[in-house]
Copies of this chain bind each other. A is one copy, B any other.
């Protein structure tokens, strides 16, 4: 009787939801401090900020590793809640607990601290285009990450690299990704030259006349993000070197960077981050700060940014709407932003060095390169000192171009330098999922393109809220796609999308 009472304590699950809510709240604070660091912090704050993030990260970690958490999980599982969302929540709690307890607390703190330090040094190294400046901090961070991967692998039965991927997009392994990426590589080798040839045969005049004043760009970004559905009473738009979307569902922080020679870079960046923001804002509020109330993983998240940026905002329908808006924003002729000229910028295909500026057809090549390099680094088959050479060789092989310097090579992305290994595949899985979701949405809601043609994302957003956002993490990546589109990830939809957009004369 006494044993029974202990093992099936009906309050155990409630105590767990309180514990996870506190942990999520600490993580919210960290997200805000991360925004501050990237967007507004003076240089003098770097060391103190690294300490702050390390201590908070350690505290959040402790909440998952004390003995009461383990006892409550055992007790709650002995008498699982009847509500399916609560049962799924409990499953995800167990998963988080298993991952957290695999990694010792001092390793978590060391990782956070080294990541903040390495990230700061990387900012200088990228500016100086000098990989050697950051090679040692990166090697230290990689060594710690490999320790973490080994610890995660030990409890999950996954390979080390798979164990890292699993922390960003649960349920996806290299075993699933490798053939999908190989298939795409084959598609690209055949499609890219054809797309380039078709493009060469067309008129290439780019839209508008530079300079595009920064203030006008910022006002335009703000206006269009709001029109897509971002509520600025619970969001900000600021500047940072590397654009991102952070904050909390009711206080979203989007950043971008402006280039007066090219309005499209900031605008498309903001629409991309708006896609992320809408997912966060659309998560089930009644499961706020619970595992089941979060996004279904980073590939799922990227599908939501790319369905806005790539599928919707570069569609024929939206380009027609965008022209007059741009003309007005920059005080230029409407004809300068005609659909064919907009397409010459927004749908230009090319072999280029910078991932975040790449077109959607070559973007996966950038990801495939990083996927292979980071898999080799985690496996111990590639040393950090050999990274610049391996990078440049990979670029030559995949896209036939050689980066002229490290700033346009292996220094361009923040990810590895802040400890994100296993994250990159999510971008391309997300792009593929976005194409698959868009095809399903168009089939289900015939008014989507008519909406986009007048700048109205309502029909699309309504479908996304119902079929993606409101589910939170109730489903895994493939199950989410299955309930929304009737099938798991299918790279054919992405190829069909690219074929329609780039391979028809």
Tell me the A residues contacting B by CB distance below 8 Å. Answer: 22, 25-26, 28-29, 32-33, 36, 40-45, 47-49, 51-52, 55-56, 59, 231-236, 247-248, 250-251
Can you report 28 residue pairs joining A to B where beta carbons are below 8 Å apart?
A: A25-B48, A25-B51, A25-B55, A26-B56, A26-B59, A28-B48, A28-B52, A29-B29, A29-B33, A29-B52, A29-B55, A29-B56, A32-B33, A32-B36, A40-B40, A40-B236, A42-B233, A42-B234, A42-B235, A42-B251, A43-B233, A43-B234, A44-B235, A44-B250, A45-B234, A45-B247, A45-B251, A56-B56
Choose among A32, A36, A44, A56 the residue with the greatest number of B CB atoms under 10 Å from its CB. Answer: A44
B33 touches A231 (CB 8 A): no
- Which residues from chain B contact A234 at a C-beta distance below 8 Å? 42-45
| Closest residue of B by beta carbon distance from A27 | B52
Alpha-carbon distance between A29 and B31 when the two chains are bound, in angstroms = 11
Alpha-carbon distance between A248 and B37 when the two chains are bound, in angstroms = 13
- Which residues from chain B contact A41 at a C-beta distance below 8 Å? 251
Instruction: Select A52's contact among B25, B42, B59, B231, beta carbons within 8 Å.
Output: B25
Alpha-carbon distance between A231 and B42 when the two chains are bound, in angstroms = 10
Beyond contacts A29-B56, A44-B234: 12 other A-B pairs, Cβ-Cβ < 8 A, are A25-B52, A26-B55, A26-B56, A29-B33, A32-B52, A36-B36, A40-B236, A42-B235, A44-B233, A44-B250, A48-B248, A48-B251
- Which residues from chain B contact A55 at a C-beta distance below 8 Å? 22, 25-26, 29
- Which residues from chain B contact A59 at a C-beta distance below 8 Å? 26, 59
Alpha-carbon distance between A33 and B51 when the two chains are bound, in angstroms = 15
| Closest residue of B by beta carbon distance from A25 | B55
Choose among A29, A49, A234, A248 the residue with the greatest number of B CB atoms under 10 Å from its CB. Answer: A29
What distance in Å separates the Cβ of A40 from its nearest Cβ neighbour in chain B?
7
Given A29-B29, A29-B52, A52-B25, answer yes or no on A45-B232 (Cβ-Cβ < 8 Å): no
Alpha-carbon distance between A451 and B148 when the two chains are bound, in angstroms = 57
Alpha-carbon distance between A230 and B236 when the two chains are bound, in angstroms = 28
Alpha-carbon distance between A33 and B56 when the two chains are bound, in angstroms = 13
| Closest residue of B by beta carbon distance from A250 | B44
| Closest residue of B by beta carbon distance from A238 | B40
Alpha-carbon distance between A29 and B36 when the two chains are bound, in angstroms = 11
- Which residues from chain B contact A28 at a C-beta distance below 8 Å? 48, 51-52
| Closest residue of B by beta carbon distance from A288 | B48
- Which residues from chain B contact A43 at a C-beta distance below 8 Å? 233-234
Alpha-carbon distance between A5 and B247 when the two chains are bound, in angstroms = 49
Alpha-carbon distance between A247 and B45 when the two chains are bound, in angstroms = 9
Given A48-B250, A251-B49, answer yes or no on A232-B29 (Cβ-Cβ < 8 Å): no
Instruction: Select A45's contact among B22, B47, B56, B250, beta carbons within 8 Å.
Output: B250
- Which residues from chain B contact A49 at a C-beta distance below 8 Å? 251
- Which residues from chain B contact A233 at a C-beta distance below 8 Å? 42-44
Alpha-carbon distance between A235 and B48 when the two chains are bound, in angstroms = 13
Alpha-carbon distance between A235 and B45 when the two chains are bound, in angstroms = 8
Alpha-carbon distance between A44 and B247 when the two chains are bound, in angstroms = 11
| Closest residue of B by beta carbon distance from A51 | B25
- Which residues from chain B contact A52 at a C-beta distance below 8 Å? 25-26, 28-29, 32
Alpha-carbon distance between A70 and B469 when the two chains are bound, in angstroms = 48
| Closest residue of B by beta carbon distance from A58 | B22
| Closest residue of B by beta carbon distance from A26 | B55
- Which residues from chain B contact A231 at a C-beta distance below 8 Å? 44
